[in-house]
Structure 1
Amino acid sequence: MAELVYRPVIGAALTMFKALDLKIDIQGSENVPRTGGAVLVSNHISYLDFIFTGLAARPQKRLVRFMAKDSVFRHKISGPLMRGMKHIPVDRAQGEAAYRHALESLRSGEVIGVFPEATISQSFTLKGFKSGAARLAQEAGVPLVPMALWGTQRLWTKGRPRNFRRSHIPVTIRVGEPLDAPTDQYAGAITRRLRERVQELLEAAQRAYPVRPKDGDDTWWIPAHLGGTAPTPAELR
């Protein structure tokens, strides 16, 4: 079926990134399967994470169908785009329909994108993972592909204004090797291994990030444990 919306949206995003002269560093895209279903799992630190997660699959010529809260689909601008790109609306009060939709898509060979923290982490550290990604992979018989993003929070994140005027912002993306999700293992155990792997990739992305703030710089986007001024998870609770 022709992708009448998805590919033009990708083109528009790439044009915007070029205009902003974003320094995008992607490693590990070869870990996204070229064919067949897979669950692509990422940390969540920005409203734009779905775009950059999708970019990581682009070298393998894969389009990612994301699970996103249903309110995005009701918006007069984003709604038609999300539906046109065949993303999956999630009603958090009744998630069974979204789960079935994602499962059918995986079985038909699609790549499904999931942010298992469910919401943006304002501490920019990993929150707890929900087990839905692991259960989907188990039931569909497909791999989990862990990945991590860093730098996207500097463009647009929760509680901060959009920053589309400042150019040259680096974005670092790391994609890890696929993880199996055997049906004879507890989904919670698989989820713990998955979170550990995303944490390792996140730390690798942070080490590779080319910006090292100097004295006097605004460090709101850096976690407290790395010397920044982002709120800690305890403070947010």
Structure 2
Amino acid sequence: MTSTDDHRPQPLPITSDPARVPLRIANSTPVQPTYRRLVRFAGWLLRLMVDRDWDDAANLPATGGVIVVSNHISYFDPPNLAHYLVWNGRWPRALGKADLWQVPIIGRLARATGQIPVERGTERAKDALVHAREALEQGECVVIYPEGTVTADPETWPMTPRPGAARLALASGAPVIPVGQWGANLVMPGKHPGWPKLRPRRTVSFRSGAPVDLSDLQGRTDAEAEAQAGARIMAAVTELVAQLRHETAPADVYDIRVGRRVPRLDAR
């Protein structure tokens, strides 16, 4: 009989770069073979392209449903975020624009690895949160960018959130782990994909924070609760980004709906 402990993350070999630990050691949790092969190749490729500055993701639960929220700074950051999560023991199921599922190869891989399409602007958009909640109930790690798109802030700070992440968190009760990242935007800047700028060699940095406290809002479905939850989520992410940038975040926050920074909602 196989022990239930067999798939727990094993102690990692001592190394200055945790991403150089073999995947079979860093993450032995069962997953679709296609997903494991894809991640192994992507990890090798990313190690060639950039350096890494990761924390140990001590706040990321080793098992059970969890929502990971992060700032979105580049089309190059999703594979790097996945790299960070997989090598810290979790296989991400990310919510992404449904248009990607129509792209040859990318769409096939997204389906094969269980990623979750979001058909924004349609009646089916809410289905993504249904599928995400089902994934959480099955003990999965669900990744969502609260901003919904690559930031349009002129200085690449996190923007105001869309309601999806907060809505999912309040409905599911799953822990919400904020992750701040920086560096992918220097490899592929702007809101449009392009050729990566690999010289000079860049460092991609990640920090995770303590679970966002939403206990007083759990179970509520009103707009005020969702707005408050969203503000707390983005405040936690922004704090981590400020640490990585060694800067203080602006007093106001960019709102893509009006095309400028607006006062932040009190996140208390």
Q: Under a length normalisation based on structure 2, what TM-score does the superposition of the two structures give?
A: 0.73
Deviates more, 1:112-121 or 1:152-161: 152-161
1:75 positional shift: 0.4
Matched, 1:83 2:111: yes
Aligned partner of 2:204: which letter? Answer: V
Q: Which residue of 1 aligns with 2:131?
A: 101
Give secondary structure in 2 for the equivalent of 1:29. Answer: coil
Residue 181 to residue 5, structure 1, CA distance change in 2 (3 Å): farther
Matched, 1:134 2:163: no
Residue 235 to residue 105, structure 1, CA distance change in 2 (3 Å): closer
1:235 positional shift: 10
Aligned partner of 1:189: which letter? Answer: Q
Paired residues, number: 216
Instruction: Quote the Cα distance in structure 1 between the aligned partners of 2:194 and 2:92.
Output: 27
Larger helix fraction of residues: 1
Aligned partner of 1:207: which letter? Answer: H
Instruction: Quote the Cα distance in structure 2 between the aligned partners of 1:121 and 1:171.
Output: 17
Matched, 1:11 2:40: yes
Aligned partner of 2:43: which letter? Answer: L
Q: Which aligned pairs between 1:70-219 and structure 2 lie closer than 5 A?
A: 70-92=98-120, 93=122, 94-122=124-152, 123=154, 124-157=156-189, 158-159=191-192, 161-166=194-199, 168-182=201-215, 183=218, 186-207=225-246
Question: What RMSD over aligned residues (CA atoms) do the two structures have, in Å?
Answer: 2.6
Instruction: Quote the Cα distance in structure 1 between the aligned partners of 2:198 and 2:183.
Output: 15
Q: Which residue of 1 aligns with 2:21?
A: none
Matched, 1:49 2:82: no
1:2 positional shift: 4.1
Give secondary structure in 2 for the equivalent of 1:147. Answer: strand
Unpaired segments of 5 or more residues in structure 2? 1-29, 261-268
- 8 Å CA contact 1:73–1:83 kept in 2: the answer is yes
Aligned partner of 1:70: which letter? Answer: A
Residue 166 to residue 87, structure 1, CA distance change in 2 (3 Å): same
1:121 positional shift: 1.1
Q: Which residue of 1 aligns with 2:52?
A: 24
- 8 Å CA contact 1:73–1:89 kept in 2: the answer is yes
Could you list the per-position Cα deviations for residues 120-172 of structure 1 after superposition, in whole angstroms to 9, with x for gaps in the alignment?
11331111111221221222121111011111012224246322542521111
- 8 Å CA contact 1:44–1:121 kept in 2: the answer is yes
Percent of residue pairs bearing the same amino acid type: 29
Give secondary structure in 1 for the equivalent of 2:229. Answer: helix
- 8 Å CA contact 1:106–1:142 kept in 2: the answer is yes
Residue 32 to residue 121, structure 1, CA distance change in 2 (3 Å): same
1:58 positional shift: 2.5
Unpaired segments of 5 or more residues in structure 1? 209-224, 226-231
Q: Under a length normalisation based on structure 1, what TM-score does the superposition of the two structures give?
A: 0.82
Aligned partner of 2:240: which letter? Answer: L
Residue 187 to residue 10, structure 1, CA distance change in 2 (3 Å): same
Aligned partner of 2:142: which letter? Answer: I
- 8 Å CA contact 1:156–1:162 kept in 2: the answer is yes
